[in-house]
Amino acid sequence: MTTRTSWADLAANSAAENVGVGSSDSNKAAGSTSGGGRPAYVPPHLRNRPPSADPPAPTSSGPASSNDRLGQGGSRWAAPRNDYNNRSGYGGSGGRPGGWGGRSGGWDRGRDREVNPFGNDDDTEQAFSEQENTAINFDAYEDIPVDTSGDNVPPPVNTFAEIDLGEALNLNIRRCKYVKPTPVQRYAIPISLAGRDLMACAQTGSGKTAAFCFPIISGIMRGPVPQKPVRGARTVFPLALILSPTRELSMQIHEETRKFSYQTGVKVVVAYGGAPINQQLRELERGVDILVATPGRLVDLLERARVSLQMIRYLALDEADRMLDMGFEPQIRKIVEQMDMPPPGVRQTMLFSATFPREIQRLASDFLANYIFLAVGRVGSSTDLIVQRVEFVQESDKRSHLMDLLHAQRANGAQGKQALTLVFVETKKGADSLEHWLCMNGFPATTIHGDRSQQEREQALRSFKSGTTPILVATDVAARGLDIPHVAHVVNFDLPNDIDDYVHRIGRTGRAGKTGLATAFFNDNNASMAKSLADLMQEANQEVPAWLTRYAARSFGGRNRRPGGGGRFGGRDFRRDSSFNRGGSDYYGGGNNAGGYGGGYSANVASAWD
DNA sequence: AAAAAAT
């Protein structure tokens, strides 16, 4: 491939797609806790009053009662939904029997006055029509290798129609313009609907959130009405917990989940640090079925006894490998194992990530019972949607080299619009300093990292998404999971020390089947990455510079090598590893998976995928 | 060594 000239074109093409991003609903996303359409707070002493007496003023627009639109009669969903009505005061409003979950009044605010999460999308859809939604490049998802292992794997489906998700959810799927399931959805949804635990390797941007949300929402809708346990009146009992490693990712999952659960009666609440806790507590008090959270804030809520995990039926860890790495593992273990969450086998557990190192899989298996491992080929790299380039740049030359890239990109840009460029650096200080330097040199930039206030972080993300500052300098806080449409170029100004982090970073471009460009600056400091980087690029059919191959040949870099020889997959079931099978007595001692696959997978099966 | 995540 002749990437030498194509990279600028790529960026320029993406720049053309960028026109008009200002109307993106992402602007709304960050305002989820302060939006204009939010109903006024009703003080607790007013909540017990009968619906007929002095109802709150109706919202200015929208349906008076979303229940009217639920079409109760004749639906096979009528029964669970009616049950749900009785439940909707559950947890939040103190579980008052027959309380304000009634169908007729305006008191069940969580439903009757549910803010339409699709409300602002109309403009966006018009601006982007073909590109953003309808034209998700599904062809790019065809022929992607998929690998499953485990006991009695349910067969995949080819259409949403084959899956019994229910009317309300199907309507939301149509509203989201999802035409057919992505590969991870085709496999993961039936597995999850069958009640099985799941460890899934799939790149974000391939429909991962929906893959674990649809079964959760559907399961809550048709599941039994929970009985509120005896607890402090202000404790709430979510039925599903979704954990993610960064605040912005939790916000994003929340926004997406709200769309999927719109008018299903299933309530989604998000809780994360850096934001006032009181508003989050109020949201929880209004009722919560699905709680999306970052670990720190959740631990806080658990210790305050404002949340109990006793009723959890579904646990999902997004970016699960990050959640279980050294920094996070104790907190996650506390939440999952040392609070009041039901054990594996009782709850249903789903772990998702684009990468799943073997050691992490071993840790993760503590949380799972007789699980199915699912690996979906990398959408981006394996289909050349992301063009990866690596350039040898000395530390002292990095800034001027970046400037060259940006100038070329600007020259090729359409209508003066600059392509969105995400620049990853190693440190928070480095991020601030590079941002300042870029601004001084005529390139509007902003930055996101852990030393900034949450407000600043969210503002930076908005400003980047809208194109106001088309350059975002970021630490690894932005490496994982964030879905930022129209990122044309990811620059690894400083390479990470872990090849998996590289995979996550470049995954911020080339999303939803679009093309993207990833440029890495490499020098002697990155010697330990040479081998893994060269291997990865080769696997993805990228042009590997000769100098990098030479580097790789003489570097040791054992830590970054992919065990098991890599292959086209982001991961491979560690249970199938022959070395593990021989030496894995500790694992079988756990008793989690006795009889499932024991010994069934060894060299011959594994070799089919090598 | 760095980043993230509660106050």
pLDDT at A71 over 60: no
Scanning every strand, the nucleotide with its C1' closest to A298's CA turns out to be B6
Protein CA at A561 to nucleotide C1' at B4, angstroms? 24
Q: Which nucleotide is nearest to A294 (CA to C1')?
A: B5
- Asked whether residue A241 carries a pLDDT value surpassing 70, the answer given is yes
pLDDT score recorded for residue A86: 42
φ, ψ at A144 (rounded to 5°): -85, 130
Please write the tens of the pLDDT for every residue from A435-489.
Answer: 999 999 999 999 999 999 999 999 999 999 999 999 999 999 999 989 888 899 9
Under the banding of pLDDT at 50, 70 and 90, the label for residue A432 is: very high
| Domains parsed from chain A with CATH numbers | 3-23+380-565 (3.40.50.300), 146-376 (3.40.50.300)
Confidence of residue A1 (pLDDT cuts 50, 70, 90): very low
Which tens digits make up the pLDDT trace of A33-55?
Answer: 333 333 333 333 333 333 333 33
Distance in Å from B7's C1' to A245's CA comes to: 19
A206 CA – B2 C1', rounded, Å:
29
Burial class (CB in 10 A: 0-12, 13-18, 19+), A456: middle
The letter for the amino acid at A344 is P
- Judged against a pLDDT cut of 80, whether residue A412 lies above it is answered with no
Which nucleotide is at minimal CA–C1' distance from A325?
Answer: B4
The C1' atom of B3 and the CA atom of A385 lie apart, in whole Å, by 28
Residue of higher predicted confidence among A489 and A600: A489
3-state DSSP of A273-328:
CCCCHHHHHHHHHCCCCEEEECHHHHHHHHHCCCECCCCCCEEEECCHHHHCCCCC
AA identity, residue A120: N
Share of chain A above pLDDT 70, in %: 66
The 10s digit of each residue's pLDDT in A533-563 is: 999 998 888 999 999 999 998 866 555 544 4
**Res. A290: pLDDT tops 80:** yes
Phi, psi for A268 (deg, rounded to 5): -115, 130
Q: CB under 8 Å to A143, separation ≥6 — which residues?
A: none
A565 pLDDT more than 50? no
Q: How far is the CA of A115 from the C1' of B6 (A)?
A: 29
Lookup: nucleotide whose C1' is closest to A330 CA: B5
Number of CB atoms found within 10 A of residue A87's CB: 23
Question: Are the CB atoms for A469 and A445 separated by under 8 Å?
Answer: yes
What is the β-pairing status of strands A516-522 and A386-392?
A: parallel
- A377-411: pLDDT as tens digits: 754 443 467 899 999 999 999 999 999 999 988 77
- pLDDT over threshold 90, residue A62: no
Sheet order of strands, A146-149 included: A146-149, A372-376, A198-201, A348-353, A314-317, A240-243, A290-293, A268-271
Per-residue pLDDT averaged across A302-324, rounded? 95
- CA(A297)–C1'(B4) in Å? 13
Q: How far is CA A596 from CA A53, A55, A593, in A?
A: 59, 56, 5
pLDDT over 80 (residue A146): yes
Across chain A, mean pLDDT equals: 75
The whole-number Å distance from A246's CA to B7's C1' is: 17
Nucleotide B1 C1' to residue A18 CA (A): 37
pLDDT at residue A91, as a whole number: 37
**Would you say residue A605 has pLDDT above 60?**
no
Measured CA to C1', what is the nucleotide nearest A299?
Answer: B6
What pLDDT is attached to residue A68?
29
pLDDT at A484: 87
| C1’ B1 / CA A229, Å | 47
Q: How many other CB atoms are there within 10 angstroms of residue A422's CB atom? A: 27
> What is the pLDDT averaged over residues A165-190?
92
Question: Which of A12-26, A208-222, A340-354 has the lowest average pLDDT?
Answer: A12-26
Q: What is the pLDDT of residues A98-135, one digit of tens each?
A: 223 322 333 343 445 678 888 754 443 333 333 333 34
The whole-number pLDDT of residue A385 equals 78
Tell me, in Å, how far CA of A100 is from C1' of B6?
33
**pLDDT higher at A223 or A229:** A223
**Torsional sign, CA A47, A48, A51, A55:** negative
Residue A118 has a pLDDT of 83
Residue nearest to nucleotide B3 (CA to C1'): A476
CB less than 7 Å from strand B: which protein residues?
A 245-248, 272-275, 277, 293-300, 303, 325-328, 331, 426-430, 449-451, 475-477, 497
Using the C1' atom of nucleotide B2, identify the protein residue whose alpha carbon is closest.
A427
| Partners of A569 in the β-ladder | A377
- In this complex, the nucleotide whose C1' atom is nearest to the CA atom of residue A250 is B5
Give the bases of strand B that a protein CB approaches within 7 Å. 1-7
pLDDT confidence band for A164 (50 / 70 / 90): confident
Find and give the residue nearest to B5, measured CA to C1'.
A296
Using 50, 70 and 90 to split pLDDT, how confident is the model at A10? very low
Rg (CA), chain A: 24
Find the distance separating the first CA and the last CA of chain A, reported in whole Å: 26
pLDDT at A304: 93
Residue A581 structure tokens = 């099978």
